[in-house]
Amino acid sequence: MSLMENGSFQADRNMHNALQVSYQNCERIARTSGSNFYRSFSLLRPQKRQAMLALYAYARVIDDLGDSPKSLNTKLSNSEHGFDSISLHKWIDNLVSNSTKSNCVNHHSIPGELSKIQLALNDAVANFDIPLDRLHEMVEGVAMDQVEHVRILDSFAFDRYCYLVASSVGLACLSIWRGDVTKFKDAAIDCGFAFQLTNIIRDVAEDAKQDRIYFPTELLESNQIDQAAWINCAPNGNWEAMLRSQIDRAKALYSSGWRIHPSLDSDGQRMFSLMWHTYYRLLLKIESNIGSIWTRRTRLGRLEKLQLYFQHAITPSYFRFNQDATNENASVQEAESK
């Protein structure tokens, strides 16, 4: 082997090792997040699973930035690098082009956890043609949280927020799951919206304690709900009727989102179904005891989550479960169309 060939081989091996370390960082972030989604990744084939880990880790890191009380400019900075959202958008634009399919490295330095997952995200974007617009949209969603007192004025702004922080992720997932993005774009948007609406309803008390109200101001006002009472977790007016109407809206969005399922590869179907049913059951649990959301966070029990997982992981169980779920959703959609 010539010196040039040996040097090329060593460079390739170094790149491979660095990429594996980056994916390991994605795995760590996903595993320690406590997310309902993490277990579902194991239902995917290896390359898809890696890509989902990279996408989730990116979304998690960006979301964690949004949960900090500091400004976006400060949170994307450290002692050596000054970063703002504009710089982050530039960094995204420098990720490997969807058309190159190469393992080139973006040398634009970034701080913290983003630098640790950069190679993996780069690789996932290239391998699965994930549009960079989806990553930009997630940053825009974070930016909407960068105010001291979160208030969303109207339904248009609320829908936009849900799209940026959740539906954009669903559209990116479709690329990894090999779904028909063009045909099922609306369904993916609806499903992401349903997941986010479930999160917002579940987290009303936690958000209120941080002076955050995600439901539109106009919606609260139309239901005679005082913002100060809401922030104190002692809502007045027609708060329960309002939340139940949002639960009904979420159910309709879940039903629309289920249309994605038949278009996916078999492993994508399993992962999507597990995610969908986990969040739908969470919504139903909230609905069954809606008053408790002001005093404790609603969760699915460990045994219930394990049961759902094995119903999807074990093939005979999944076929039965999937047929029942498909029939149930068909009935719901038929009823809604009448």
46-100: pLDDT as tens digits: 999 999 999 999 999 887 766 655 544 444 444 343 346 777 888 898 886 433 4
> What does the mean pLDDT of the chain come to?
85
Whether residue 124 is found in the same domain as residue 50: yes
What's the maximum distance between 2 C-alpha atoms anywhere in the chain? Answer: 79
Whether residue 235 is found in the same domain as residue 155: yes
pLDDT, residue 281, reads 96
Handedness of CA 123, 127, 133, 135 (dihedral sign): negative
Whether residue 251 is found in the same domain as residue 297: yes
- Please give the Cα distance from 147 to 144 (Å, whole number): 7
Question: Is residue 246 within 8 Å of 201, Cβ to Cβ?
Answer: yes
- Please give the Cα distance from 315 to 99 (Å, whole number): 36
pLDDT, residue 178, reads 86
Whether residue 104 is found in the same domain as residue 196: no
Q: What are residue 237's phi and psi, to 5 degrees?
A: 65, -150
Other Cβ atoms less than 10 A from the Cβ of 142: the count is 23
Whether residue 255 is found in the same domain as residue 327: yes
| DSSP H/E element including 138 | helix 132-144
Residue 142 lies in a domain: no
Q: Which two tokens stand for residue 197?
A: 């609406």
- Please give the Cα distance from 10 to 28 (Å, whole number): 27
Whether residue 90 is found in the same domain as residue 153: no
pLDDT, residue 310, reads 93
172: closest CA among 141, 143, 122, 133?
Answer: 133
Residue 138 lies in a domain: no
Residues belonging to the chain: 338
Under-70 pLDDT residues of the chain:
1-12, 65-84, 96-111, 326-338
Whether residue 207 is found in the same domain as residue 116: no
Whole-number Cα distances in Å, 185 to 1, 7, 142: 51, 45, 22
Other Cβ atoms less than 10 A from the Cβ of 24: the count is 14
Q: From 130, 165, 181, give the residue that closes a domain.
A: 130
pLDDT, residue 31, reads 92
- Specify the pTM: 0.85
Whether residue 166 is found in the same domain as residue 109: no
Whether residue 62 is found in the same domain as residue 171: no
